[in-house]
Amino acid sequence: MNVINASIIFLITFLVLVSVFIAASWFRKVAYRLPGNRSKLYKGLLGGYALLLLLAVILYYLFQPDQTALSRSITEKEAEQAFSQFFEALEKEDLNLLNPAYIRETWTFETEHNQLNLISPSTGWSDTSIVIAQSENPGNAIKVDYYITPVIMTGFEITDYFPNPEVELSGDTLKIAFAEVDLNLANLSTEFTIRQFVEAPQQQHPYFYHGNSALIIHLPQNLNLHVSDKLPVHWIRKNHN
C-alpha cells in the first residue's frame, strides 16, 4: 500500500469517526432537551426498546433462520486443484482429466442435419468456455455437458447458486443462453466480541476462489459446426470419449 492510499484510508476513517462523534453528541443534546417531566414517556420508550430486544432474542432462538444447505464443503486446495485441472484438460486436449463430479447437467439431442449452427442470444459477456469435442465416430447424437468447478466467495461455496444455462436444439441451430441473476445472500455472523475468544485464528481467513465453467459440446464426426463470431470456442479433437 503506498503512502497516498494509506493517507486516503486514514483521512476517510478520521472523517467517519468525527462524523459519528458529532452525530452522537447531537443525539445526546437532543435527548437532554426532551422535557424532564415526562418520566412515563421515558419509561415507555426505554421499556419498549428493551422489550423489543428481548423479543428479538426469543424469536431468533425459536425460529432460527434456515441456512441454505451447501451441498459440498471444499477446501482452498481442492478448489485450486479443480481450477487448474480444467486448464490442463484444455491444454492437453484430454477431457478424461476433468472430474466428472463437476458435470452438473447433461443434454442430449438427435439431429438429422449435416450442419449445426451454434448461437447465443445473450448480449452480456460470458465467462463460460465453450468446448467443442468432435468425435472420430459418425452418428447423429449431440451431447452437451455443463461443467462447473467450485466457486468460493469469502470462504463460502456459492456454486449451487449459479443457474444452469439454457440449451436448446431447434432444427439445425443449437441455442445457448445464460440467465441473468442478481442474488443477495445473508451471512449471519457473530460479533467481534465473541469471535475474539471463540473462533480459531485459522478460521478467520476467508478465501476467494473463482471457479471455471464450460459447456462441453460433443459432436459426431459427420456434423459440420458453424459458430457465431462472438462465441470463442476451444476445439478438442483427440483423447475424449
Partner 1 sequence: MSLSTISLSKNITQLYRYKLYAYRNSVISLMIIQIVALLLSLNGTNQSMTVYENVSITIHSYSANIVLAFSMIWAFITAISLTTKPYRDADFILVASRLTSHLSNILFLLTASMIAGVTAMLSGFLLKLIAVYLLSQEVIAQQTLPISHLLLGILVATLYMVLISSAGFLAGMLTQWHRSFIIIIPALVMALFFIEWTTVDETEQTSMPAMIALFRFFGTEHSLLMFTVKVLLCVLICYGITHYLSSRMEVKG
Of 45, 169, 183, 78, whose CA–CA distance to 116 is shortest?
169
10 binds partner 1 (CB under 8 A): yes
102 binds partner 1 (CB under 8 A): no
How far apart CA 78 and CA 72 sit, in angstroms, is: 11
161 binds partner 1 (CB under 8 A): yes
Q: Which of residues 123-142 bind partner 1 (CB under 8 A)?
A: 124, 126-128
Asked whether the beta carbons of 222 and 141 are under 8 A apart, the reply is no
229 binds partner 1 (CB under 8 A): no
Cell of 138: 459418425
Q: Which of 130, 131, 162, 236 binds partner 1 (CB under 8 A)?
A: 162
57 binds partner 1 (CB under 8 A): yes
Number of C-beta neighbours around residue 148 at 10 A? 22
Q: Which of 8, 12, 14, 238 binds partner 1 (CB under 8 A)?
A: 14
76 or 221: whose CB is closer to partner 1? Answer: 76
Indicate the pairing of strand 233-236 with strand 152-153: unpaired
Cell of 136: 472420430
Q: Which of 5, 37, 64, 241 binds partner 1 (CB under 8 A)?
A: 64
Question: Nearest approach, Cβ of 205 to partner 1 (angstroms)?
Answer: 14
* Interface stretch with partner 1, choices 104-112, 129-137, 151-159, 224-232 (CB under 8 A): 151-159
Beta strands in 71-172 (DSSP E): 103-110, 115-119, 129-134, 141-148, 152-153, 156-157, 166-170
Asked whether the beta carbons of 93 and 180 are under 8 A apart, the reply is no
Q: Which of 108, 190, 221, 224 binds partner 1 (CB under 8 A)?
A: 190
4 binds partner 1 (CB under 8 A): no
Helix H or strand E segment including 231: none
How far apart CA 13 and CA 29 sit, in angstroms, is: 24
Cell of 140: 447423429
181 binds partner 1 (CB under 8 A): yes
Binding mask 18-47 for partner 1 (x = CB under 8 A): --xx-xxx-xx-xxx-x-------x--xx-
Q: Which of 8, 12, 15, 50 binds partner 1 (CB under 8 A)?
A: 50
What 3-state class would DSSP assign to 129?
strand
How far apart CA 152 and CA 86 sit, in angstroms, is: 16
Contacts to partner 1 by CB under 8 A = 10, 14, 17, 20-21, 23-25, 27-28, 30-32, 34, 42, 45-46, 49-50, 52-54, 56-57, 59-60, 64-68, 70, 122, 124, 126-128, 151, 153-154, 156, 158, 161-163, 178-194, 196-198, 201, 208, 210, 213
